[in-house]
Chains A and B, each alone.
Chain A
């Protein structure tokens, strides 16, 4: 209470001098808001409003919803969706929390390698685990015995695929949460002779609470909206996301597809509510007086930690390695002769190597423009004074993309941007629309990463700068950006690799000049050319991995310059 009163007093006292800054920041906030409205809200409205229309466009109120909710199959889908999402979330979060803890707070060797491997699934198109799992656990699979009598084509396959796919997402947020800690808390714990376990529950866990809850909802929503994995490996196990696929692609019933999409938005709204609630309680971890935490070695624990990381890394490498092997096989499983011919993409589907170059370009644009838009947006939302309602709305808008299946977003872009009355129609069928839709699609996790980093910086930095009459953008460029450099680079790499692998939204939006590698891989698989599809996936993985390594080198260089304050 008193703190709040003090800060209110402070801001009241200095407000007049800050007015120009305030106006500039509000201008930025409105610009970000406008961006989100145009690239997200209006397109989604043009799609989701169809849920209230009949096939010929007449308004039917809730008629479609009533029809949908009276189908018995729906309840199976809802049950299945929640079951898969809860199980996958539990597994992913437990595995990722421990992994992130080890990477951030222990002294095991090879941390960089483990982190690199753990983030590999991000680099892989969702087709890749699909191909791998079939080769590993299918009827002809090399590890089929492990599943006993169970089939990979069903809930088991879906959960395995989802854990593989969401693990790095959770890990990214959790590492960000773990990596900023105030060593003074731990010193106090040691001084008070608190046991390690007690310290973990009273200092460590509360410190990552915000990140943990974000991670849980990110994973949960990713799983519940993903249709790629259930479609490839789920057999006939129906989930809500495949129901959308059936309606939209199978039956061209956009109205019913919109109904299911709206149903899928509910978890996101829930996520937002919880997020708001937790956030209100979050206090800045890194006060201006904080002392960075530095892990100390522990012989036994470090050994256990190492083995844990090794096992998880081997599994990830195994899954990707299987797809790598698949890309060299002539005809699985009847002709296991190895050859390089599957990499000759110009002889195959989807635009050959030119698709690959398009993907590369698209990913680079997405990384650069996306990071600028998203980080600046997050900064303005987090650090501006007043304007609470607008900031709240923006915060809410940022959570939506997570809950929208890419397929729905892609169609929404057609309805909105291809409408003859839209002055932005000229971007339809071009590279920019692919970049914009990809930024919109992957907005949430990037935004959450930025917020996690920003929240950990004490607002005192701004207050001090303000009282020294330093304009906010100087503080932004001189303090915030350098302090958050690891998070900023993480966001850009996240956008890059996702742009390389994304399929579901862009599949509706590419034109003959902008074919993409990920779509090409999907279409090769569709045409029965599994090995070339695996080969294209491997090229995508290799490219993103190279970019990641460059990124790691860059991060190290930059860390030395921008993160030196973290060491004592």
Chain B
């Protein structure tokens, strides 16, 4: 600890300078929940509005950013958590927070109605799933035609020489989506077969990106014919007018889910529980279904525009525990094989 005097002086200076702003933020009325999320920003207003239809007395203050930033922020705040609830963050991130003992064990009312895949195995549960977030291939029909590329239908297709330098995927060291792809290939093709597959795929990769949605955005903008990304992003770009085909490879696809949890030590525990209870209701799942084809509540999902219909059945039996346990080893191996070779290819 530095001398107290310095801090007092500092406090004084700050106090004079910023008092007005600082205190304006403290004043509040109804129960307010600080909710961290990685859900698309345009959906947040809708989520809060639907929730407030049933619970007008709880105000949600969103803090939204990309999955990596939100996860890093939550972990960095571990000593003094600021969030009450996390609503809409990758389940793998929540598992990480769970390991750090940051999640409040709480089985929301009606948790047993959810598909078992979409909830924590522990009782009481620490997190519950919302919707699935499925890997897929974004295929730009216009650019593919220009380059004379056939439509790939499987992961293995992507290793054909015709696709040389026509494929982009996320770097698993930077992006959760990238890790999702890698871990799913290792599960699909076995440890040895998986690496062999990636060796071949690596020859066709134009470059690896740092963000999981980027490959699909690049495909949508015609910067590359084929981007390995996830279906939700692809459907969105397609709706905006991109000439995209969303391909679900026949071998099956890796997936993660968006999930919800209460942060341990929340000062608004009652309101937090109310929100989490609501987040697994049928009504909430119908809301998730407006953007995502596969949701946690069985029997709710209706086909979503631009989403390939077979997406639910193509999801592999993803072993999250295995992926989490082997993450460091897989990333290290991946880096040694593909990342050291950093010359940019064109």
Residues of A in contact with B (beta carbons under 8 Å apart): 31, 34-35, 37-38, 42, 71-73, 76-77, 80, 134, 138-140, 149-151, 153-155, 231, 235-238, 242, 245-246, 248-252, 254, 330-335, 347-350, 365, 369, 411, 414-415, 418-420, 423-432, 435, 507-508, 510-513, 519, 523, 526-528, 530
Contacts and interface: CB of A to CB of B under 8 A. Distances in A.
A528 B212 CA distance: 11
B77 to A, nearest CB: 5
Contacts of B149: none
B10 A236 contact: no
Contact of B213 (A72, A347, A432, A526): A526
Given A435-B18, A523-B41, A507 B69 contact: yes
Contact of A246 (B171, B224, B243): B171
Interface stretch (B192-200, B272-280, B308-316, B338-346): B338-346
B217 interface: yes
Contacts of A332: 221
A425 B80 contact: yes
A237 B69 contact: no
A398 B143 CA distance: 51
Nearest to A413: B76
Contacts of B331: 251
Given A42-B2, A246-B171, A246-B173, A528 B96 contact: no
B221 A333 contact: yes
A428 B72 contact: no
A350 B41 contact: yes
A387 to B, nearest CB: 17
Given A155-B344, A246-B174, 10 more contacts: A151-B345, A236-B171, A236-B344, A246-B173, A250-B172, A254-B72, A331-B241, A334-B241, A419-B80, A508-B76
B227 to A, nearest CB: 12
Given A350-B41, A415-B76, A420-B80, A245 B242 contact: no
A511 B63 contact: yes
Contacts of B22: 426-427, 430-432
Interface stretch (B113-121, B155-163, B232-240): B232-240
A1 B344 CA distance: 56
Contact of A411 (B62, B76, B210): B76
Interface residues of B, number: 75
A418 B72 contact: no
Given A335-B241, A418-B82, A235 B236 contact: no
13 contacts: A35-B10, A38-B7, A138-B221, A138-B223, A139-B223, A250-B172, A250-B176, A418-B76, A431-B22, A512-B34, A519-B65, A527-B213, A528-B220
In the A-B complex, the 6 residue pairs with the smallest Cβ-Cβ separation, listed nearest first, are A154-B344, A349-B41, A151-B346, A249-B68, A512-B61, A235-B207
Interface string B304-346: 0000000000000000000000010001000110011011111
Contacts, number: 205
Contact of B240 (A80, A235, A331, A349): A331
A139 B343 CA distance: 19
B79 A419 contact: yes
A34 B41 contact: no
A138 B210 CA distance: 18
Contacts of B211: 526
Most buried by B among A76, A248, A249, A332: A249
Interface in B186-221: 206-211, 213, 216-217, 220-221
Contact of A250 (B21, B34, B174): B174
Contacts of B339: 73, 236, 238
Contacts of B241: 330-331, 334-335
Contacts of A150: 346
Contacts of B25: 429-431, 513
Contact of B221 (A140, A411, A508): A140
B174 A349 contact: no
A236 B340 contact: no
B73 interface: yes
Contacts of A140: 221-223
B77 A418 contact: yes
Most buried by B among A411, A425, A512: A512
Contacts of A77: 342
A278 B323 CA distance: 54
A335 B220 CA distance: 12
B77 A414 contact: yes
Contacts of A330: 241
A526 B223 contact: no
Nearest to A74: B340
Contacts of B171: 236, 246, 250
B40 interface: yes
Interface string B228-261: 0000010011001111000000000000000000
A423 B76 contact: no
Contacts of B96: 252
A544 to B, nearest CB: 22
A334 B242 CA distance: 7
A335 B240 CA distance: 10
A84 to B, nearest CB: 12
Nearest to B332: A71
Contacts of A231: 210
Given A31-B9, A80-B342, A348 B41 contact: yes
A424 B63 CA distance: 22
A154 B236 CA distance: 28
A351 to B, nearest CB: 8
A249 B243 contact: no
A42 B1 CA distance: 10
B76 A432 contact: no
Contact of A507 (B65, B142, B207): B65
A257 to B, nearest CB: 9
Contacts of B107: none
B242 A331 contact: yes
A511 B43 CA distance: 18
A455 B31 CA distance: 56
